[in-house]
């Protein structure tokens, strides 16, 4: 159906505006043929203009909007994720030896051990362990979650094989370190024929498991590679010219456990703690586990704000697990949450990031959620968790909009055949709630059309209201 499918509020969409939307849609469907689902509603969720608003479509990363609301409703805006050293033994105060078992407890903090100090660091954890009196650790590294199970990271079964292992789709789970990416920076030696030089590595301590097999050659060219080895180490291959300057290489850490081990070993050394990895003799019955050191993420709202601004898939999957646990039914819990808020039984979600093409939701489901969830206690200031125009994935929207940041708060979604955007648009006569969904062969053209509609409707925009300042933003550059 083209045009309004519910009672329109004249003060929000007057006749001239509706005619402009009709004209925009006529041009858009010619330039970007495919399946469109569009819902434009008032702040209460009443549809003012729609097309296929109830048709379930692939939403892509706009799913993160649902994931944010679901997780926030479970854990709250101030929740944090902790990384701890837990022990079932005791500290010998005379020698500083930790006698008995110990483990590194990780709980899916997507900000752990990132360069630039934009998240908690293992060095801080090691310093706290030193302050607790530990001078020597004994035994191999055991990595567990808060409930004592083995920490893990894997690719969600809902993700297509073509995505897995790409920089935007690393393994997810309780074990996350530097977003499960590794990066090295390589420079040439002073003379041709010598090994290249490793001048930087992330996460911290990665250099301890990197082998340099690249050579320095003459000239300005470089052909380098970063290879993961079966034993968990990494090798830099290829060549780099004496005048090539430094080059950065990145790869997905399919097995983050050895990377964690290297980072933890370096952190311990820097803190002045010796790690003897040989197993120590049994000391009899273990005592109840105690926390010897602990570091924590920023509050939930700060992390969620960054996840949405950058459209960070591993971060969204972490939020899903904050809310739904590390079991297989987290996506089912997410689906149930959205259905309960919207009353729409057609919503079907299989991951928390929107990377799967099997997710389904309609434009009206998004506008209904955006209108209703902020009315719940867990939804207070929900709009402020979404990127503002001019930042993150909305930075190109600002070209031609001519409005202050905060006039738009929205989440985009992009796949090979998907371009979607759902969010809020502030206007002097009230806030509009929009969902523009496109499934078809020309997503780039569809995206430009979506931006054009926001500019059309937001020419005289006003900042989307909220009773608090936006969450503090942290870490990373926005994705293109």
Which residues on adjacent β-strands are paired with residue 137?
275
Q: What is the structure's pLDDT at 287?
A: 66
Q: Quote the strand ranges of 150-212, DSSP E.
A: 153-154, 172-173, 181-187, 197-202, 210-212
Question: Is 8:16 a contact under the CB 8 Å cutoff?
Answer: no
Q: What is the structure's pLDDT at 399?
A: 72
Scan for tokens 């972490």, then name that residue. Answer: 318
3-class secondary structure, 236: strand
- Which residues, in sequence order, are CB contacts of 474 under 8 Å at separation 6+? 111, 118, 119, 298, 302, 303, 306
Q: Measured between alpha carbons, how far is residue 127 from residues 82, 93, 121, 123, 334 in Å?
A: 16, 17, 10, 6, 38
Give residue-wise pLDDT tens across range 443-455: 999 999 999 999 9
Q: What is the structure's pLDDT at 285?
A: 53
Considering the chain, what percentage of its residues have pLDDT values greater than 90?
82
Identify the H or E element spanning 288: none
Per DSSP, the chain holds a count of helices (H) and strands (E) of 9, 22
Q: Which CATH class is domain 82-176+255-296?
A: alpha beta
- Chain mean pLDDT for the chain: 91
pTM score, whole prediction: 0.91
Which residues on adjacent β-strands are paired with residue 82?
296
CA dihedral angle for residue 202, residue 207, residue 210, residue 216, rounded to 10 degrees: 100
Neighbours of 238 (CB within 10 A): 18
Architecture of the domain delimited by 15-77+300-457 = 3-Layer(aba) Sandwich (3.40)
Q: What is the structure's pLDDT at 6?
A: 36
Q: Which of 268-272, 371-375, 458-462 has the lowest mean pLDDT?
A: 458-462
Residue-range domain boundaries for the chain: 15-77+300-457, 82-176+255-296, 185-248
Buried b (16+ CB within 10 A) or exposed e, 22-40: eeebeebbeebebebbbbb
For residue 246, the 8-state DSSP code is -
């Amino acid at each position: 159906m083209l045009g309004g499918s519910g009672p329109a509020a004249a003060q929000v969409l007057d006749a001239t505006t509706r005619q402009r939307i009709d004209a925009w849609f006529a041009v858009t469907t010619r330039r970007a043929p495919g399946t469109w689902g569009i819902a434009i509603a008032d702040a209460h969720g009443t549809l003012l203009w729609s097309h296929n608003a109830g048709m379930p479509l692939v939403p892509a990363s706009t799913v993160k909007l649902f994931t944010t609301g679901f997780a926030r409703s479970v854990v709250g805006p101030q929740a944090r994720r902790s990384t701890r050293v837990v022990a079932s033994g005791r500290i010998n105060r005379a020698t500083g030896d930790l006698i008995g078992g110990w483990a590194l407890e990780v709980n899916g903090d997507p900000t752990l051990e990132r360069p630039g100090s934009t998240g908690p660091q293992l060095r801080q954890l090691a310093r706290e362990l030193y302050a607790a009196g530990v001078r020597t650790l004994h035994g191999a590294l055991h990595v567990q979650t808060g409930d004592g199970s083995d920490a893990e990271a894997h690719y969600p079964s809902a993700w297509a094989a073509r995505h897995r292992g790409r920089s935007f789709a690393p393994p997810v789970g309780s074990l996350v370190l530097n977003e499960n990416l590794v990066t090295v920076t390589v420079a040439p030696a002073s003379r041709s024929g010598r090994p290249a030089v490793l001048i930087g590595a992330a996460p911290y301590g990665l250099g301890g498991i990197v082998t340099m097999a690249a050579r320095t050659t003459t000239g300005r060219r470089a052909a380098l590679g970063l290879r993961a080895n079966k034993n968990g180490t990494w090798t830099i291959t290829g060549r780099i010219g004496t005048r090539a300057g430094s080059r950065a290489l990145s790869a997905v850490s399919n097995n983050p456990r050895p990377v964690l081990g290297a980072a933890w070993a370096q952190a311990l050394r820097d803190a002045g703690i010796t790690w003897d990895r040989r197993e120590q003799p049994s000391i009899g019955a273990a005592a109840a586990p105690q926390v010897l050191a602990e570091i924590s993420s920023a509050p939930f709202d700060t992390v969620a704000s960054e996840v949405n601004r950058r459209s960070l898939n591993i971060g969204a999957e972490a939020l899903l697990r904050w809310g739904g646990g590390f079991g297989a039914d987290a996506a089912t819990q997410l689906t149930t949450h959205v259905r309960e808020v919207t009353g729409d039984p057609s919503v079907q979600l299989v991951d928390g990031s929107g990377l799967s093409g099997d997710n389904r939701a309609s434009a009206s489901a998004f506008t209904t959620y955006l209108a209703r969830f902020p009315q719940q206690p867990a939804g207070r200031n929900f709009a402020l968790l979404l990127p503002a125009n001019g930042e993150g994935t909305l930075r190109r929207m600002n070209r031609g909009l001519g409005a202050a940041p905060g006039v738009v708060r929205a989440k985009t979604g992009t796949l090979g055949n998907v371009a979607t955007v759902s969010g809020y648009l502030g206007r002097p006569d009230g806030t509009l709630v929009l969902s523009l969904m496109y499934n078809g062969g020309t997503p780039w053209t569809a995206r430009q059309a979506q931006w054009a509609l926001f500019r059309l409707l937001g020419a005289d925009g006003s900042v989307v209201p909220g009773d608090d300042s936006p969450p503090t933003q942290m870490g990373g550059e926005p994705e293109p």
